[in-house]
Amino acid sequence: MPIKNGAEYIESLRGRHLKIYLFGKLVDEPVDHKMIRPSINAIAETYDLAANDPELASAHSSLSGIQVNRFLHIAESAQDLVNQNRMQRKLGQLTGTCFQRCVGMDALNSLYSTTYEIDGKHGTVYHKRLIDYIGKVQRENLVIGGAMTDVKGDRSLSPSQQEDPDMFVRIVKRDPKGVYITGAKAHQTGCINSHWIIVMPTMRLKQEDKDYAIVGAIPVDAPGITYIYGRQSCDTRSMEDGDMDSGNAMYSGQEAMIIFKDVFIPNELIFMDGEYEFASMLIERFTCYHRRSYVCKTGLGDVLIGASAAIADYNGVANASHIKDKLVEMTHLNETIFAAGIASSYLSHQTPSGNWQNDDMLANVCKHNVTKFPYEIGRLAQDIAGGLVVTMPSEKEFRSPETGPLLEKYLKGRKGVSTENRMRILRLIENMTLGRNAVGYLTESMHGAGSPQAQRIQIARQGQFEKKKKIAKRLANIKEGEASETVLEPSEYFDRIFGSDNKKK
């Protein structure tokens, strides 16, 4: 039976006996753990949104012939990719955090085209296996986590050069039925809240790294997996009584380290095995999708801009010109992120496999903006909030008969505004800029889908500086024929803008 809504999704996670370590102990039932539950609630929203607004958060899949959650849909048009972005912004607004399902969505889409091309070269059957697998998860309506980032050890060395060969996930054993993998994946978003994990390589591989060229789907409760829960700033506030101090009591993100020890992947769930030369294609396509998925942060930006406008109002400064200007600046930055992401989706092209891939240059520009602008939006939010955002007493003091009346009197804002509401909105700003959801809004913005330099490399590759030199020299009336100092990799970015006829001009 497919999972129909958020409540059924939450129930589907019970009783799986995962080996999860948190605070030095095994977690009995993550669903009932007060610190973990907000992250589960965030994914539950993705189910409820699909039920309540199917146009936005579901799609008709021609693979399975049914309406499926958009997070499980293989893009059949540019509009499908635009709709992913619309859904991501909405979910960011609804949760104020990372809702954890985009890595899986982007992994399925990048694998769809990459497996097709591996089969074309090697005569393998990965694409058909993947289609069967996608059909199954679509019909059952499951959550997929995408496990790409290895722990990596010495960053200057390739997988096979590491002193400890387990620094990257690798095949350690084979039998006629499949392969066994060992290693660890770091920072895994929503992995404990998922039903399946797709393991993928994290970097370009060479012949000697063949055992590291493994892609496969693994149930989250497969034998041999250990999860070590990641701490988030102020996370234990979720375990306290009351709901004010956590700032956003309902929702949070989740990251954990996944350790694989001889974990089995059966042949029918293997989508790459040794075709090392396709690792870079998979990673580039995945990061291309995922870097534009970071428009999710504009939904969070909407929340933070709203919180800033609300606190300005509570403080009686809503009409001050510099406050209005700061809100405009925050909006300008937020929409600049959205503009690049959604433009990347609109500028999609069809791959040989038939699915659609967004524009790489604009995806990288989108993500690069995300590594910077949320920090500036956060700075402006803290400016507008005032110092109380970091000096406010706890909810316990507010509820205490001794100190409560004092706080009620001395933490008042403008007339007609409740002190409690003023404290709540300040806690939300703290949550997003310093607390639990600053993980999602700030540091995930920096490193998720690749650290800033990874985008600069991609932008440089697609800069078409030779082409731009030609454009400039024509206007300066410089005759061609001289030797060029730099020859950069060719890119089709201008072809995607102007059409391939542009080459002739």
Q: Which residues are catalytic?
A: 98, 102, 189, 255, 290, 294, 296, 444
Residue 91 or 147: the one with the smaller Cβ distance to ligand FAD is: 147
**Least distance from C-beta 23 to ligand FAD, angstroms?**
20
Cα Rg of the chain, angstroms:
24
Q: Which stretch binds ligand FAD (CB under 6 A): 135-143, 163-171, 210-218, 449-457?
A: 449-457
Q: What angle do CA 253, 238, 14 make, to 5 degrees?
A: 65
- The contacts of residue 446 (CB under 8 Å, 6+ apart) are 371, 452
Structural contact between residues 304 and 330, judged by C-beta atoms closer than 8 angstroms: yes
Look at the block and give the residue holding tokens 């930055």. 333
Residue 142 or 323: the one with the smaller Cβ distance to ligand SF4 is: 142
Report the alpha-carbon distance of residue 111 to residue 144 in Å, rounded: 13
Residue 456 contacts ligand FAD per CB under 6 A: no
Q: Which does 52 bind (CB under 5 to 8 A by kind): ligand FAD, ligand SF4, none?
A: none
**Least distance from C-beta 210 to ligand FAD, angstroms?**
21
Residue 439 contacts ligand FAD per CB under 6 A: yes
> Which of helix, strand or coil describes residue 421?
helix
Q: Which does 391 bind (CB under 5 to 8 A by kind): ligand FAD, ligand SF4, none?
A: none
Q: Which 8-state DSSP code applies to residue 233?
A: T
Q: Which of 152, 261, 324, 399 binds ligand FAD (CB under 6 A)?
A: 152
How far, in Å, are 298, 467, 494, 498, 501 from residue 504 at the CA level? 39, 12, 12, 11, 6
- For the chain, the maximum distance between any two Cα atoms, rounded to a whole number of angstroms, is 85
Residue 248 contacts ligand FAD per CB under 6 A: no
How far, in Å, are 2, 99, 301, 340, 457 from residue 336 at the CA level? 38, 22, 11, 6, 21
Site for ligand SF4, rule CB under 6 A: 98-100, 102-103, 189, 293-294, 296, 444, 448
**Least distance from C-beta 409 to ligand FAD, angstroms?**
40
Residue 283 contacts ligand FAD per CB under 6 A: no
Q: How far apart are the first and last CA of the chain?
A: 57
* Token duo for residue 210: 């063949």
- Segment 155-194, which members bind ligand FAD (CB under 6 A)? 155-156, 187-189
Q: Which does 294 bind (CB under 5 to 8 A by kind): ligand SF4, ligand FAD, none?
A: ligand SF4
**Least distance from C-beta 293 to ligand SF4, angstroms?**
4
Report the alpha-carbon distance of residue 117 to residue 279 in Å, rounded: 12
Phi, psi dihedral angles at 501 (to 5 degrees): -60, -25
Q: Which does 361 bind (CB under 5 to 8 A by kind): ligand SF4, ligand FAD, none?
A: none
With CB under 6 A as the rule, give the number of residues binding ligand FAD. Answer: 21
Report the alpha-carbon distance of residue 166 to residue 64 in Å, rounded: 38
Binding mask 110-149 for ligand FAD (x = CB under 6 A): ------------------------------------xxxx
Residue 199 or 311: the one with the smaller Cβ distance to ligand SF4 is: 199
Residue 462's Cβ-count burial label (10 Å; 0-12, 13-18, 19+) is buried
**Least distance from C-beta 394 to ligand SF4, angstroms?**
29
Residue 189 or 252: the one with the smaller Cβ distance to ligand FAD is: 189
Look at the block and give the residue holding tokens 């929702």. 251
**Least distance from C-beta 290 to ligand FAD, angstroms?**
9
**Least distance from C-beta 358 to ligand FAD, angstroms?**
18
Look at the block and give the residue holding tokens 């004092």. 406
Q: Which does 296 bind (CB under 5 to 8 A by kind): ligand FAD, ligand SF4, none?
A: ligand SF4
How far, in Å, are 89, 350, 374, 378 from residue 297 at the CA level? 7, 26, 8, 12
**Least distance from C-beta 103 to ligand SF4, angstroms?**
5
Q: Which does 293 bind (CB under 5 to 8 A by kind): ligand FAD, ligand SF4, none?
A: ligand SF4
| Position 192, amino acid | I
**Least distance from C-beta 107 to ligand SF4, angstroms?**
11
Tally Cβ neighbours within 10 Å of residue 130: 27
* Token duo for residue 392: 């406010």
Closest by CA to 85, choosing from 96, 98, 70, is: 70
Residue 168 or 289: the one with the smaller Cβ distance to ligand SF4 is: 289
Q: Which does 99 bind (CB under 5 to 8 A by kind): ligand SF4, ligand FAD, none?
A: ligand SF4
Q: Which stretch binds ligand FAD (CB under 6 A): 12-20, 72-80, 134-142, 150-158?
A: 150-158
Q: Which does 75 bind (CB under 5 to 8 A by kind): ligand FAD, ligand SF4, none?
A: none
Phi, psi dihedral angles at 216 (to 5 degrees): -160, 160
Residue 17 or 155: the one with the smaller Cβ distance to ligand FAD is: 155
* Token duo for residue 470: 């030609």
Residue 443 contacts ligand FAD per CB under 6 A: yes
| Position 461, amino acid | R
Residues forming contacts to ligand FAD in the complex (CB under 6 A) are 103, 146-149, 152, 155-156, 187-189, 255, 439, 443-444, 447-451, 453
